[in-house]
Amino acid sequence: MTGLLRFAVVGHTNAGKTSLLRTLTRRVEFGQVSDRPGLTRHAEAVDLRLDGHVTARFLDTPGLEDAVALLEYLNTLPADSRPERIRAFLRGPEARASFEQEAKALRALTEQADAALLVIDTRESVLPKFRAEVEILTWCAKPIMPVLNFVRDAASRRDDWHRMLLEANLHARVEFDVVAPFAGAEAQLYADMATLLPTRRQQFADIGRALAEQARQRRLAACRVIAAGLIGVAAMRRVLPAEDYADALKRQGFVSGFHDDVRRHARRVVDELLALFAFRPDDAELADIPQLAGRWEDDLFNPELLKDAGKRLSLGAAIGAGVGMVADAALAGLSLGAATAMGAALGGAASGGWRTLWRKFGGRLHGVRELTVEDPLLLLLADRLLALACALEQRGHAAGQRLCVTATEMTDMAAGSAQDDPRVLVRALEPARGHPEWERGDSALSFDWQALEAMLAKRLDERLGFAWGDTHPRS
C-alpha cells in the first residue's frame, strides 16, 4: 500500500451519491437518502474498512445545483489554464456566496481526493446543466469515473448518456445501480478505477480480493444461519392430550399456536440474515405469491404451495405425506397423529436413542398426540430463506422500498442444477426430529447439533453457489 485511496463522490442533486456510498461501504445509516433535493449540504467522509483496516475514503459532496451559471462565471476569470480558474474561483468570494455548494464539491475533489466518482441518474435527459457539470469537473484535472445509476429503470436513457460522455472525452465508465447492483458491479467499479490510477493498481486489486473474500464469508455465514433455523423448525414438537385433540376448538387453537411458533422461528432467521448483510430489521419481507394476500409467514401454510413442494419431494400432491399422516387437512404442513410420533421417532432414533422412541410409544399408548412440521413445509421455508439470501447479496443499501421476494426465482435456479435434489436437504434434517430440545437452541454446543448444522450449511452453500453462479471463490 502507498497511502489511502481517496475519492470525491460528485454529481447533480439527487443523482444517488449518498446511496452509492451506503452500498459501497455497507453503511445503511450513512447520510440522508430522500427524493427531496439538496439533503447533503457539506462534504462528509466515510471509510471503507476491509480486514479491519481503512483501505479507501470517500467524500460525499453536495450536489452541483447551478452548473450553467458557474461555468459562465468561471469563463470570466482571468487565468492561464482551466485548473487555475477552478483554483481562483475557490479562493474568491463567490465560493462563499452564490456558488457555495458547488465550491464544497470542487474543493473536496481538487484538494482532498485522488479521483472523482461522478454519479449520474440515467433517468434524466442529457440537459445543458449536466453537460456544464461534466465540463467543470474535467477542469479540476483529476481522473473522473462516471457511475451510471438507475440503469435498470425502464426510464433509463443509458445510451444517451454514453454518447454524451464520449463527447466529453470520458471513455471509461461503469454501470452501478445503487438500489440493485449487477452481480460483480462492485468489483468492476474498482477494477475500472485502477485504469484511471495505474500507480495504485495493486491497491485496487487488494480491495477486489478482500471484497470477494468478504462476500464468500457472508455467504457461508448466511448458510449457517439458515441451517440453524431449519434445524430448530424441524425439531419442533408439541404434545396435545387426547381429550384436547377431540375438542375442535382446542385443536384449532393448538394448531394456530404452532403456526405462530413456526412464524417466529422464520422471522428470527430473516432478522439474522438482514443483520448479516448490514440491513435494518424492517428493510425486507419475504413475499407472498402475488395472487395471495397476507404476509409471507402466512403463505408458508398455503395448501397449494405445500402441494407443489410435496411434488418436488416426490410425495405426490398430498400434504403430510412426508412424515406421517395429517389428521385434519386444515393443519396445512403439520402432522398430528399416531404416525407422526412413530415416523419422527424412527427418523431420529439413530441420533436420539431408544429412550426417545420408547417415550413416543408410551405417549401413543396414553392417547397423546404430537404436532410436528411436515417435510414440504421445511422445503418451502428453505427455498424462501435461500431466496432472501440471494436477494440481499444483490441489493444496494440505499433502496427506499422494502425488499419483496418470492422463492420462484430461487426454485428455478436450483432446479437447473443436476446435483440439486430437495429430498437430500429434507432427509438431512431428519435427526433433528429426534431432538425436540434443539428447537430452543440450548444444545448448540453439542457435537451432534454442530455436526448437523455444518453438514446442512454445506448443502445450502452448494445450492447458493449454483444460484449465484459461484462468483465467489471457495476457501
| Local confidence band at 400 (pLDDT 50, 70, 90 cut-offs) | very low
Residue corresponding to grid cell 443483520: 275
Q: Which of 13, 200, 222, 38 is nearest to 124 (CA)?
A: 13
Question: How many CB atoms sit inside 10 A of residue 181's CB?
Answer: 22
Instruction: List, in sequence order, every residue forming a beta bridge with 48; answer none if it has no partner.
Output: 56
CA distances from 420 to 81, 373, 392, 398 (A): 64, 22, 22, 34
Question: The dihedral of CA 209, 213, 215, 216: what is its sign?
Answer: positive
pLDDT at 283: 55
Residue corresponding to grid cell 467543470: 136
pLDDT at 100: 93
Q: List the alpha helices (DSSP H) in 235-367.
A: 242-246, 248-276, 296-299, 303-312, 338-352, 354-365
Instruction: List, in sequence order, every residue forming a beta bridge with 54; answer none if it has no partner.
Output: 49
Examine the pLDDT at 22 and tell me if it is beyond 60: yes
CA distances from 276 to 179, 207, 214, 296 (A): 18, 20, 11, 21
Examine the pLDDT at 285 and tell me if it is beyond 90: no
Examine the pLDDT at 414 and tell me if it is beyond 50: no
More confident residue, 275 or 125: 125
Examine the pLDDT at 24 and tell me if it is beyond 60: yes
Average pLDDT over residues 418-440: 83
| Local confidence band at 376 (pLDDT 50, 70, 90 cut-offs) | confident
Examine the pLDDT at 432 and tell me if it is beyond 50: yes
The torsion of the CA quartet 333, 334, 338, 340, rounded to 10 degrees, works out to: 80
- Rounded-to-integer distance, Cα 151 and Cα 168, Å: 20
- Rounded-to-integer distance, Cα 223 and Cα 386, Å: 8
- Rounded-to-integer distance, Cα 357 and Cα 124, Å: 68
Mean confidence (pLDDT) of the chain: 77
Q: Which of 301, 396, 457 is nearest to 19 (CA)?
A: 396
For residue 439, give the DSSP letter. Answer: G
CATH 3.40.50.300 in the chain, residue ranges: 5-196
Burial class of residue 271, CB neighbours in 10 A (0-12, 13-18, 19+) = middle
CA distances from 19 to 10, 121, 400, 408 (A): 12, 12, 10, 28
Q: What kind of architecture, by CATH, is found in domain 5-196?
A: 3-Layer(aba) Sandwich (3.40)
pLDDT at 340: 42
Instruction: List, in sequence order, every residue forming a beta bridge with 238; answer none if it has no partner.
Output: 371
| Local confidence band at 221 (pLDDT 50, 70, 90 cut-offs) | very high
Examine the pLDDT at 426 and tell me if it is beyond 50: yes
Which residues does 6 contact at the CB level (< 8 Å), separation at least 6? 56, 57, 58, 59, 112, 113, 114
- Rounded-to-integer distance, Cα 246 and Cα 67, Å: 77
Question: For 186-199, how does the pLDDT look when each residue is reduced to its tens digit (9 = 90+)?
Answer: 888 899 999 999 99
Average pLDDT over residues 66-91: 94
DSSP, collapsed to helix, strand or coil, labels residue 239 as strand
* 14 contacts 63 by C-beta, under 8 angstroms: yes
